[in-house]
Amino acid sequence: MSQVTKRALEASLKKLLLERPLDKITVTDIAEDCGINRMTFYYHFRDIYDLVEWACQEAARRILDGKRTYTTWQEGFRRILDGLIDNRPFILNVYRSVRREQVETFLFQVTHGLLMGVVEELDPIIENHCRALGLEVSGKDVLPMEGEFSQNLIAARLGGQVHTGAGLDEVIPNRPPVMCAGCPHRGLFYTLSKNKCTVLGDIGCYTLGAVAPLAAMDMTLCMGASISAIHGFNKALGEQSQGKTVAVIGDSTFMHSGMTGLANIAYNQSNSTVIILDNSITGMTGHQQNPTTGYNIKGDPAGKIDLEALCRAMGFNRVRVVDPYDLKATDQAVKEELAAREPSVIISRRPCALLKYVKHKAPLKVNTDKCIGCKSCMKIGCPAISMKEGKAHVDNTLCVGCGVCEQMCAFGAFQSTEKEG
């Protein structure tokens, strides 16, 4: 039904374009011609230009139907040109009403997708040359013209054994990814969640802050986008966003794609709070060094960039460092910087719990006499904590003694095992 409505709106738009230019057509005009209300239009499209883009994409899809292979791409390309002629009034009207760059970008996407799809389907060039030399050769008569050559596909086509993989007779529960036990990011995201902050995220281990039960990330776009996004949010929304929104970014991501956004905030003075999650390593991709660690990629001593000094040099007066294991101090820092009427940076600093040089405390245990089973400790999503027989339980093979859960428990049920060792 959704596609039927969209096509009806497309037909109404094309009909109206025969009468007047695009910039003289309103959403109301299209809705009335189509026999629907404006809300129905906005349910399907953001605006008229969104409808135009969809109509062009649908036309390209219909025109190229099945004509994307090595033997048919010329026909597909010819159909594109024929389609431009058949829809000449629509195309010309749109071309005159939008920027030339937008039209060229759209045409490039259509033709590039067609041509690259052909180039990447492994044309039988060598095979054809061999046949021209009078040699007997097999190739596309065995392997397909399109798709990925997986191990199983090759095995099946060449007469090898196809492995179907192992299975389980019983259904096991889903196990979503979580931050490691003792991850320094956990305390920060718990604090942001508790303060009901809008969190603009970035790419790294800390993106797991979006996963329940923390659920403390509202947007992740690409590396470095969090800082630019908060600047735009706060400039556009003003008081509606300021004091409630933060950007989070890892130390290594900040170094390669976050500094320009931070300079923009300082230069244009948006009331934005940026939190740099400094875990002293590039965690997500396997513990590579970065310019803030003091070592190069080979592990040799190298220049070390001071994040605090860098932020101050870029024009930030408010720069502070917190230990995310300290929930009270982290909460205070977040509240104070969000309340400030100027740009600010919080550096949440604590080394990754998996670094070899990090010395952990003794694991914690639960005093079952004090635990009332309230599950407050479960709100941080630590894999070392579970519930057994209605009481919290700590897996001492995972616990690193970070103490975050201990601070959350109002009944003092978490205790160190240090003296027991």
Question: Nearest 10 degrees: CA dihedral of 126, 132, 136, 138?
Answer: 40
DSSP 222-237: STTHHHHHHHHHHHHH
CA distances from 12 to 16, 22, 39 (A): 6, 12, 16
190 shares its domain with 298: yes
71 vs 160, residue with greater confidence: 160
Mean pLDDT of 50-56: 84
Residue with tokens 């740099």: 276
282 shares its domain with 389: no
76 shares its domain with 130: no
Sign of CA dihedral 80, 86, 89, 90: negative
Note the pLDDT of residue 109: 67
129 vs 190, residue with greater confidence: 190
190 shares its domain with 251: yes
For residues 287 and 22, what is the distance between their CA atoms, to the nearest angstrom? 54
Q: What is the pLDDT of residues 216-260, one digit of tens each?
A: 999 999 999 999 999 999 999 999 999 999 999 999 999 999 999
For residues 220 and 247, what is the distance between their CA atoms, to the nearest angstrom? 10
Tell me which of 119, 145, 164 is where a domain ends.
Answer: 119
- Helix and strand tally (H, E) in the chain? 16, 10
374 shares its domain with 400: yes
Angle (nearest 5°) at CA 182 between 177 and 188 = 85
127 vs 36, residue with greater confidence: 36
For residue 179, pLDDT over 80 is answered with yes
Q: Please, what is the average pLDDT of the chain?
A: 87
* Kind plus residue range of the DSSP H or E element containing 268: helix 259-268
205 shares its domain with 191: yes
For residues 283 and 203, what is the distance between their CA atoms, to the nearest angstrom? 11
Q: What is the pLDDT of residues 253-285, one digit of tens each?
A: 999 999 999 999 999 999 999 999 999 999 988
Q: Which of 64, 352, 33, 72 is nearest to 185 (CA)?
A: 352
Tell me which of 108, 136, 153 is where a domain ends.
Answer: 153
Which pLDDT band, with edges at 50, 70 and 90, does 161 fall under? confident
For residues 282 and 199, what is the distance between their CA atoms, to the nearest angstrom? 21
For residues 285 and 140, what is the distance between their CA atoms, to the nearest angstrom? 38
259 shares its domain with 327: yes
Domain that holds residue 191: 185-349
Q: With respect to residue 68, please indicate whether it lies within any of the assigned structural domains.
A: yes
Q: What letter does residue 282 receive in the DSSP assignment? A: B
327 shares its domain with 207: yes
Q: What is the pLDDT of residues 91-147, one digit of tens each?
A: 777 777 766 676 677 667 666 655 555 544 556 777 787 788 888 887 777 777 777
259 shares its domain with 408: no
Note the pLDDT of residue 120: 43
Asked whether 251 and 203 are in contact (CB, 8 A), the reply is no
96 shares its domain with 189: no
Q: With respect to residue 89, please indicate whether it lies within any of the assigned structural domains.
A: yes
For residues 10 and 85, what is the distance between their CA atoms, to the nearest angstrom? 18
CATH of the domain at 377: 3.30.70.20
Mean pLDDT of 401-406: 96
For residue 404, pLDDT over 90 is answered with yes
Mean pLDDT of 324-339: 97
Q: With respect to residue 359, please indicate whether it lies within any of the assigned structural domains.
A: no
Q: What is the pLDDT of residues 289-315, one digit of tens each?
A: 999 999 998 889 999 999 999 999 999
Q: With respect to residue 9, please indicate whether it lies within any of the assigned structural domains.
A: yes
Note the pLDDT of residue 103: 66
Note the pLDDT of residue 126: 72
Q: What is the share, in percent, of the chain residues with pLDDT greater than 90?
A: 55
> How many domains are contained in the chain?
4
Q: With respect to residue 303, please indicate whether it lies within any of the assigned structural domains.
A: yes
For residues 249 and 223, what is the distance between their CA atoms, to the nearest angstrom? 8
CATH of the domain at 112: 1.10.357.10
Note the pLDDT of residue 113: 59
Q: With respect to residue 358, please indicate whether it lies within any of the assigned structural domains.
A: no
Note the pLDDT of residue 73: 66
145 shares its domain with 266: no
Q: With respect to residue 147, please indicate whether it lies within any of the assigned structural domains.
A: yes
Q: With respect to residue 31, please indicate whether it lies within any of the assigned structural domains.
A: yes
368 shares its domain with 337: no
CB atoms within 10 A of CB 323: 15
CATH of the domain at 241: 3.40.50.970
CA distances from 265 to 80, 226, 234, 312 (A): 45, 12, 10, 13
* Kind plus residue range of the DSSP H or E element containing 385: strand 385-388
Tell me which of 319, 349, 379 is where a domain ends.
Answer: 349
Q: What is the pLDDT of residues 361-399, one digit of tens each?
A: 999 999 999 999 999 999 999 999 999 999 999 999 999
